[in-house]
Amino acid sequence: MPIVLSENFRALFYAPFYAALATGAFRDAGVEVILRPSPSPQAAAAALRAGEADVMWGGPLRVMIVHDRERDADLVCFADVVARDPFFVVGARPRPDFKLADLAQVSFAAVSEVPTPWICLAHDLRLAGIDPDRLEPLSGPSMADNAAAIRAGTLDAAQLFQPYVEQLIASGAGHLWYAAATRGPTAYTTLVTRRGTLEKRQDELLAMTTGMHRTLGQFAATPPAEIAGLLAGYFPDVEPAIFAASIARYRALGLWGPDPLIRRAGYDWLHAAMRAHGTLGRDVAYEACVDTTLARRAIAATA
């Protein structure tokens, strides 16, 4: 019986998930995985909870929120993939001596499509001794709109992900100010299921985790241009050179974990950011949201 995997939304930093499908890594590990596109992260989570999907990929942030609101919540993260923050701050002018405090002195647009990027950047600011409320970032326009505003010279800086970053840099219209991945581990995107599914379909989910583990190892050693060619069908509008440059930059930043083990340090950083932001009303234990059993078994089996 196949595993139905709900796509969170289409993004380049999810490339290892697509690679596992494109290379047949899940099939080779012993499980059939069917990808079900989703219009939004909220829709992916709803499909999982309604039993319309067996697994989704998404942020531990959403799993923590559910556990915060529902004491008997059964969502659980079981395999890590995106282990650092994939967002950047790009400016319209070079600023080689950039400091986070500089954002209070310029027109700046935060990501509006999803909450995690701003929650994390706001915590970076707090840790640097800066009150995020000083920024009053523009929030509403899409990342595409903000990238266009940087090109037009009507916005000083924006929080963006790939491929907008490489497109702006390649055109000379944008300059990299800050890569959020440089802060270190941040639990950003994992495979998520329900506790009951984790127990009832343990063999299939172990195979899925094993396929993901193998993919992460292969992905780290595959030339970026080859990855761009392999996944071109998922991102037909991204030029191959921009695609390859995006993968290369993410890889250099250590965006993708070396294995599917969800580490406590990344979870704790995200949890602290959410608590400081007011996204969580109480502490939510790592053990409530994370199960590393399958990841540890997959790592041991391929050692």
Whole-number pLDDT of residue 251: 97
How far CA 101 is from CA of 75, 117, 126, 130, 205, in Å, comes to 37, 17, 10, 7, 44
* Tokens 């890594």 sit on residue: 25
Whole-number pLDDT of residue 40: 78
Phi-psi region of 51 (alpha: psi -120 to 50; beta: other; left: phi over 0): left
**What distance in Å separates the CA atoms of residue 34 and residue 27, rounded to the nearest whole number?**
10
Domain boundaries, the chain: 3-84+186-301, 88-183
Whole-number pLDDT of residue 237: 97
CA atoms within 13 A on the CB side of 17: 28
Read off the pLDDT of residues 76-118 as tens digits, 9 standing for 90 and up: 999 999 999 999 999 999 999 999 999 999 999 999 999 999 9
Entry pTM: 0.96
**What distance in Å separates the CA atoms of residue 189 and residue 61, rounded to the nearest whole number?**
9
**What distance in Å separates the CA atoms of residue 211 and residue 207, rounded to the nearest whole number?**
6
Domain range 3-84+186-301, CATH architecture? 3-Layer(aba) Sandwich (3.40)
**What distance in Å separates the CA atoms of residue 208 and residue 79, rounded to the nearest whole number?**
9
DSSP 8-state class, residue 4:
E
**What distance in Å separates the CA atoms of residue 125 and residue 113, rounded to the nearest whole number?**
20
**What distance in Å separates the CA atoms of residue 221 and residue 227, rounded to the nearest whole number?**
10
**What distance in Å separates the CA atoms of residue 4 and residue 198, rounded to the nearest whole number?**
13
* Closest CA relative to residue 297, chosen from 219, 204, 192, 209: 209
Q: Which residues of the chain have pLDDT under 70?
A: none
Whole-number pLDDT of residue 39: 80
Q: What superfamily does domain 88-183 belong to in CATH?
A: Periplasmic binding protein-like II (3.40.190.10)
**What distance in Å separates the CA atoms of residue 283 and residue 230, rounded to the nearest whole number?**
41
**Where is 192: in which H helix or E strand?**
strand 189-194
Report yes or no: 72 and 41 within 8 Å, Cβ to Cβ. no
Q: What letters, b where the CB count within 10 A reaches 16 and e where it falls short, cover 56-72? A: bbbbbbbbbbbbbeeee
Q: Using omega within 30 degrees of 0 as the cis cutoff, is the peptide bond preceding 163 cis?
A: yes
